[in-house]
Amino acid sequence: MALRALVLGSGYAGQGHTQALRDAGVEVVGMASRTDSVVRHVAEALEIPRAGSDWRGLLAELRPDLVAVGTPAGTHLEMISAALDARCHVLADKPLTTCAPHARRLYAHSIGVGVKTAYAASFRYQPQALLARQLVANGAVGRVLEVECASHYNWSRLLPFGWPHRLDQGGGRLNNNFTHKLAIVLHIVGGEILSATGEARNDLQRAPMGPRIHDFREFTQSPISPEVAARGEWGDVDSDWSYTALLRIGQRAQPDASVSALFRHNCLTHSRIRDHICVYGSEGVLHIEGAYATGAVLLGRGGRDWEEIPIPASITDALPALSDATQRNWNQLAREFAADIRGLGTPGYLTFRDGWVFQEVIDAIRAGRGWQVIPHQL
């Protein structure tokens, strides 16, 4: 079944989704982005035949089967709604929107028009996370009791003011860090999110104005010098740069058997302890290095002895053969999504339902009002 796609966004995600869709056998027929000259340059480099800043015009003209949305989340409600109105299948990067009510609206809309959706919290496909899922399922740690995720990124406080600093544009670490880690944890331990609590903090307050960053890969590499920042204008930051979240994950029929999952992140400080994801069980512990499960997988069963578990070929051979983790994970999601659209089955990728539920969790953490039950049904 031939599939044609329009990609919205020409930065990191837009370019990545283009490559991922092509790997899945989808023809990318157009690309749209906010700056006409930039999107035309990127489209030419990627050999995409149609490009421009009028995304509505391209949607109407090209009539694609699928729309991939890789723009900042402040644009998602309008863009995804239009794509759903056109009866297109939609792949959206995370976060799905800027708040739970909007995410719920998009999920309901997709059901109403009868199309398929995909949500790109895609680090759940990390080989290390898939290995941990396999080990947990095989009883390597016994019954899972708790999970701990910790990360400290030590980003500069002088990164140029942009969408990451604004909640109305989908900024904040809960939207852009927590979503991946939550997807990983759920994939490893199974079950669903029963309730959540926590707090989010804006430890930044202000950021210096600077050149507009088009590609997120350039954002963290582009701090403004203290001298230039002192002489220039500053923007008010309202997004979260640190958070602490505690979730109960399990089955609603067995709340007493739920797993406690702790998520701790600060983007502006460093730590002596490496970023990690740990799964604690009744008979052992899995320690995965890296905030997004990108390092070694270690199994401990008491005392100080840890065994590094190699990733089997059965896992790596089933994934795209790419060294770049982000691109490989996008490619795997696109493969599963395209296969499902073609009626060839799917292992169970994340959809707009997950994007909505994740946003409910994020809103609960930001509200900071104690434990809140997380809805799963419209």
pLDDT tens digit sequence for 113-140: 999 999 999 999 999 999 999 999 999 9
pLDDT at 303: 74
Provide the 8-state DSSP code for 232. Answer: S
- Crossing angle of helices 100-113 and 76-85, in 10° steps, is 10
Rg (CA), the chain: 21
Dihedral sign for Cα atoms in the order 287, 353, 166, 262 = negative
| CATH hierarchy code of domain 125-320 | 3.30.360.10
Q: Which two tokens stand for residue 35?
A: 């700056």
The one-letter code for the residue type at 336 is E
Say how far apart CA 324 and CA 66 lie, in whole Å: 25
CATH number of the structural domain 4-123+329-355:
3.40.50.720
Q: Mean pLDDT, the chain, as a whole number?
A: 96
- pLDDT beyond 90 at 167: yes
Q: Where are the domains of the chain?
A: 4-123+329-355, 125-320
- Share in percent of the chain as helix, strand, coil (round to 5): 40, 25, 40
More confident residue, 253 or 358: 358
Order of strands, sheet of 117-120, starting from the edge strand that comes earlier in the sequence: 50-52, 27-32, 4-8, 66-69, 89-93, 117-120
CB 73 within 8 A of CB 102: no
* Number of alpha helices (DSSP H) and beta strands (DSSP E) in the chain: 13, 17
| Main-chain phi, psi angles of 200, to 5 degrees | -125, 145
Supply the pTM of this predicted model: 0.97
Give the pLDDT confidence score for residue 238 in this predicted structure: 98
Over range 20-27, report the average pLDDT: 98
